[in-house]
Amino acid sequence: MQNEKDKLANSVVAHMMEHDAFSQWMQVKVLEVSEGYSRINMLIRKEMVNGLGIVHGGITFSLADSAFAFACNNRNNLSVALDVTISFTKAVIIGDTITAEAKEIHNGRSTGVYLITILNQKNEQVALFKGTCFRTGKKLV
Amino acid sequence: MQNEKDKLANSVVAHMMEHDAFSQWMQVKVLEVSEGYSRINMLIRKEMVNGLGIVHGGITFSLADSAFAFACNNRNNLSVALDVTISFTKAVIIGDTITAEAKEIHNGRSTGVYLITILNQKNEQVALFKGTCFRTGKKLV
Amino acid sequence: MQNEKDKLANSVVAHMMEHDAFSQWMQVKVLEVSEGYSRINMLIRKEMVNGLGIVHGGITFSLADSAFAFACNNRNNLSVALDVTISFTKAVIIGDTITAEAKEIHNGRSTGVYLITILNQKNEQVALFKGTCFRTGKKLV
Amino acid sequence: MQNEKDKLANSVVAHMMEHDAFSQWMQVKVLEVSEGYSRINMLIRKEMVNGLGIVHGGITFSLADSAFAFACNNRNNLSVALDVTISFTKAVIIGDTITAEAKEIHNGRSTGVYLITILNQKNEQVALFKGTCFRTGKKLV
Q: Per residue of chain A (141 residues), what is the pLDDT tens digit? A: 579 999 999 999 999 999 999 999 999 999 999 999 999 999 999 999 998 889 999 999 999 999 999 999 999 999 999 999 999 999 999 999 999 999 999 999 999 999 999 999 999 999 999 999 999 999 999
Asked whether the beta carbons of residue C21 and residue D46 sit closer than 8 angstroms, the reply is: yes
Contact (CB, 8 A) for C114 and C104: yes
Determine, yes or no, domain membership for B69. Answer: yes
List the domain range (segments joined by +) for residue C56.
Answer: 4-135
For residue A83, the chain B residues in CB contact (below 8 A) are 85-88
Those of residues 50-79 in D touching chain C at CB distance below 8 A are 50-53, 56-59, 61-63, 65-66, 69, 73, 78
D82 part of contact set with chain A, CB < 8 Å: yes
- The CA–CA distances, whole Å, from D131 to A72, C59, D82, D93 equal 21, 16, 8, 24
B31 part of contact set with chain A, CB < 8 Å: no
Determine, yes or no, domain membership for A141. Answer: no
CATH code where residue C57 lies: 3.10.129.10
A88 part of contact set with chain B, CB < 8 Å: yes
The whole-angstrom separation of Cα A32 and Cα A29 is 9
Determine, yes or no, domain membership for D140. Answer: no
Q: Is the pTM of this model over 0.90?
A: yes
Determine, yes or no, domain membership for B141. Answer: no
Determine, yes or no, domain membership for D14. Answer: yes
Question: What digits encode the pLDDT tens for the residues C104-137?
Answer: 999 999 999 999 999 999 999 999 999 999 999 9
Of B15, B50, B91, the CB nearest to A20: B50
Determine, yes or no, domain membership for C128. Answer: yes
Question: What digits encode the pLDDT tens for the residues C58-110?
Answer: 999 999 999 999 999 999 999 999 999 999 999 999 999 999 999 999 999 99
Q: How many CB pairs under 8 A join B and C?
A: 18
Asked whether the beta carbons of residue D69 and residue C50 sit closer than 8 angstroms, the reply is: yes
For residue A88, the chain B residues in CB contact (below 8 A) are 80-84
Determine, yes or no, domain membership for A80. Answer: yes
For residue C111, the chain B residues in CB contact (below 8 A) are 82, 134
- Pick from B60, B51, B55: nearest CA to A40: B51
When divided into structural domains, chain B yields a total of 1
Determine, yes or no, domain membership for D141. Answer: no
Does the interface predicted TM-score (ipTM) exceed 0.90? Answer: yes
Contact (CB, 8 A) for B104 and B69: no
Q: What is the DSSP string of chain A?
A: ---HHHHHHHHHHHHHHHH-HHHHHTT-EEEEEETTEEEEEEE--GGGB-TTSSB-HHHHHHHHHHHHHHHHSTTT--EEEEEEEEEE-S---TT-EEEEEEEEEEE-SSEEEEEEEEE-TTS-EEEEEEEEEEE------
Interface probe, candidates C87, C101, C110, C117, chain A, greatest A C-beta count within 10 A: C87
- State which residues of chain B have pLDDT below 50: none
Contact (CB, 8 A) for B34 and B6: yes
For residue D81, the chain A residues in CB contact (below 8 A) are none
Chains in contact with D, where contact requires at least 3 CB pairs less than 8 Å apart: A, B, C
DSSP-derived letter for residue C38 is E
B85 part of contact set with chain D, CB < 8 Å: yes
Residue D45 has pLDDT above 80, yes or no: yes
A125 part of contact set with chain C, CB < 8 Å: yes
Asked whether the beta carbons of residue D61 and residue C58 sit closer than 8 angstroms, the reply is: yes
C132 part of contact set with chain B, CB < 8 Å: yes
Asked whether the beta carbons of residue B106 and residue D87 sit closer than 8 angstroms, the reply is: yes
- Using 50, 70 and 90 to split pLDDT, how confident is the model at D104? very high
- Using 50, 70 and 90 to split pLDDT, how confident is the model at C1? low
Asked whether the beta carbons of residue D132 and residue A85 sit closer than 8 angstroms, the reply is: no
The whole-angstrom separation of Cα C107 and Cα C77 is 11
For residue C89, the chain A residues in CB contact (below 8 A) are 105-106, 108, 113
Label the pairing between strands D79-88 and D125-135: antiparallel
DSSP-derived letter for residue B124 is -
